[in-house]
Structure 1
Amino acid sequence: MSRRKLLKSAAKLSAVAATLPLTTFAIGKAKPSLRVLGTHVTLQDELRKKAMDDLGINLVFEPKGSAAVLQKASMAPQSFDLYEQWSNSINVLWRSGSIQPIEKQRITHWDEINSLTKIGRITPEAKLGAGDAPYKLLNVQKDGTLGEQHSEQISFLPYVHNVDSFGYNTSVIEKGIPYETESWAWLLDKQYAGRVAVVNAPTIGLFDLALAAQAAGYVTFADIGAMTITELDKLFDLLIRLKQSGHFSGFWTSVPESVRFMQSKRVVIESMFSPAVSSLNGQNVPVTFAAPKEGYRGWHGVMCLSAATSGRLKDVAYEYMNWWLSGWPGAFIARQGYYISNPQRSKQFLSQGEYDYWYAGKAATTDLKGTDGNISVKQGDIRTGGNYEKRFENVAVWNTVMPTYEYSVQKWYEFLSA
């Protein structure tokens, strides 16, 4: 095409464009799509729809099991914009270069976030807990490492968190007394052989079983958050023998799977997360979430910014992170038993009865519904383990990536295949 013809064609296109609605060409105004990689715990459709309505964005959720999420995120940061999982994944993601620092000044309600992640204790009497306590991993230090010293950059947004233990069917197992008779040792009790399940995650299920083995007197650990190779060998010798004898019925990889295990009566006791207990209670399956006398396994949700996210999508990612601390999301996840880092802002979105039950540890004055719309709390029920502060005063160990992580993973898969 000659220069003259090219200029004439361009002029015609410009004339046509001038007669069309502006929106036809306003591509820059199209709704941005934010990709969130995480687990079923927080990647729920009701949260997605509410966030899209509030923020005017598209959200693409990709929920997977814990191990699959971490593997994908550490290997392919370009496949997601935000990552949602637990603090034990931070060391892996940070070392792999898959996530970038978050600017603290861009977090609208940073000053409202409580002391649990900032200094490690929610009350002065609280145990710090062994292992990867979140406050140890929060702040980006001057040398690029993660540590306790406060800085203007953080590795993750502190938001949902809880303490985990195990759930048991009280139609089969007599209901215990929180902090007194309920014990991690129950997971290894021979009378439940063949009806026990554990979460299939080497940075989570490993600690459930280590706590159980120690509580039962089979193995002791100098530091359960940093087990040595010798200690791991002793632990897995025991676990492999138990597995080969048929003690374990299964290993679940997602909350819905753990619900099916208990619902089908395949198991009577298993590692559990709070939403699973809430769901089962809503289906009239009598499951109690134990408050072990040895202490809980604590976890803290982390929302991380992909190293590959930039420009407008990065701005949208900050909008979504701030949305999570805006009140409504915290109230929503409270109904499945989870806490939010700035609970006072969410209180206005909960009834007094809901707040008193989920946070204050008081008896439910009415039946309460879970996030699925079913009644998960009956009038008169008291939350196992007590109020928010009491539960987080009793963390034995946090979900953790230990210095012996690679060896522990190898042993974990030997155990699964035994």
Structure 2
Amino acid sequence: MIYLDNNATTRLDPRVLEAMMPFLTDEYANAASTHPFGLRAHEAVKLARQQMAQLLGCEPQEFIFTSGATEAINLAMKGVAESYSSRGRHIITVQTEHSAVLDVCRFLETQGCEVTYLAVQPDGLLDLATVQQALRPDTILVSVMLVNNETGVIQPIQEIAVLAHAAGALFMTDATQAVGKMPIDVEALGIDLLTCSGHKLYGPKGVGGLYVRQRKPRRVKLAALLHGGGHERGWRSGTLNVPGIVGLGHAAELCRQSMKEEAARIGALRNELEAGLLAIPGTRVNGNREHRFYNTTNILFEGCDSDAMIMGLEGIAVSNGSACTAASVDPSHVLLSMGMDETEAFSCLRFSLGRFNSPEMLVDVIDSAQDIISRLRGYILA
């Protein structure tokens, strides 16, 4: 199989699995225990927290472990809504956010919050003037995804954070597609809350984390979702997933060490693949091509159904939307928000490359795409 769906999930790096194995077998103690076995697990968790902090430019105590980005998003947004309710109940986000953010916003609306869903331009980018106009005295949180999971469009979060802070609001980013793959310094970017997930950076599933700013001038208050033991500074109770946490930390360290080289190599592969696919008549790239993540291309294939293309690309894994809404028969909300009609949105494929892709794979992908598209268009004409 040629796997080009790395934005949905990445393969577990064998080196990460090797680091995890002792904590799945012999080193199985609870990290909260005070005997020597527990202390070894505690030290492993401490190292992983340091590795994540080094990757993000934060202090270790500002990073807490969760079961993944979805839980982290729920904790961040619901925690802020509860903690800052006396100041305001207004939240700003974007129509092209991941469903984890949008669904939490819809829930918060049932709890008395007011949410503004900002529209994007046809290229997927936010207009900063739109953000500025939406800010109000009672705005408590602005949440904008760093890298869009479907198009790879990169939002100007540093500038958005400045606007949010000037209005007295906190700034949060869902950085799930970006962490470990591009340099992130939460202090320099003005981020107050950041979410991520291990399985997007060649780590295990079932583990992720939340950065919560604890330094002046904006020490974030956060109400807990889970109670029962006071783990993770009281923000996230529950016995720590030591093997998963070790895997996340080791994956973060491997990413940090190879980030620059990987970006150049994977970016070159993406460009080669994209050029081959765009040579097919009736194709175009969706989203801003300048402010775009190096591993992703989302392409419209005129006159072709995306599900039929996925079925026809035998042995090649690609997608036509977010993996978290894959069971839905609705068109991509991201592409619709960029101004596409439903027919166009149902004619798009996302190709997302990663660490384990090679140049040799691309020829097969391009040839297979040309073949299936010719056949599908032939059926229509017939």
TM-score (structure 1 length as normaliser): 0.28
Which is higher, the Rg of structure 1 or of structure 2?
1
Higher strand share: 1
TM-score (structure 2 length as normaliser): 0.30
